[in-house]
Amino acid sequence: AMLLVWRDMFNKDFGLINNLFGWHIDWLGQPTTARMSLILVNLWLGFPYMFLVATGALQAIPKELTEASSIDGATPWQGFRRVTLPLLLVALTPLLISSFAYNFNNFNAIKLVTDGGPYAIDNATVGATDLLISYTYRLAFGGIAQLGFAAAVSVIIFTLVAVMSIIGFRRSRSLEEVYS
């Protein structure tokens, strides 16, 4: 439901953003502004969860470690970079991997806010805000159902997400071994 509210807020004729600032910007009709709008919507959707997990991970880091780094002569920046950030990455890596997989397959935001558009005049198949998953949907359920091609693209999506997740989890496992 919130995605539909965001779509209406970006409406060029009666949208809240244009009315509030007196602008006449076609937010969802131009490729650059449509991409920026989707990025803003996804940030708004994902920020609270990421913030809560990051805050919890920061609070779980023992204060003795940062105190020890300052006693050893580290500046606050060095203490953050060499102590806090590596420990934070151990906790946040699985979250980052899952958010990558979610955003890679973020069909709902694309379908409900821009429907993959805007489309170029010479290419009505791929829109400016399409991801592989929304392109696959259009292949499978669009005008001419290209189910075989859509299935092949789905396998490619699965392979990409699986390979990136495996790489990320292996790297996070090596981080856990180093910092535990």
151/113 Cα distance (integer angstroms): 25
- In the chain, % of residues over pLDDT 70: 97
Q: Which structural domains are found in the chain, ordered by start?
A: 2-179 (1.10.3720.10)
Task: Give pLDDT tens digits for 127-180.
Answer: 999 999 999 999 999 888 999 999 999 999 999 999 998 998 888 777 667 666
CA distances for 115 relative to 53, 88, 111, 150, 167, angstroms: 31, 36, 4, 17, 32
Task: Give pLDDT tens digits for 102-126.
Answer: 888 789 999 999 999 999 888 878 8
Q: Could you tell me how far CA 127 lies from the centroid of its own chain? A: 18
Q: What integer pLDDT is reported at residue 179 of this predicted model?
A: 64
142/134 Cα distance (integer angstroms): 11
Amino acid at 172: S
Q: What integer pLDDT is reported at residue 178 of this predicted model?
A: 66
Question: pTM score > 0.75 for this model?
Answer: yes
64/164 Cα distance (integer angstroms): 35
Token readout for 80 is 């953050």
65/57 Cα distance (integer angstroms): 14
36/159 Cα distance (integer angstroms): 28
- Within 15-146, where are the H helices? 16-21, 31-60, 63-71, 76-79, 85-104, 107-109, 132-141
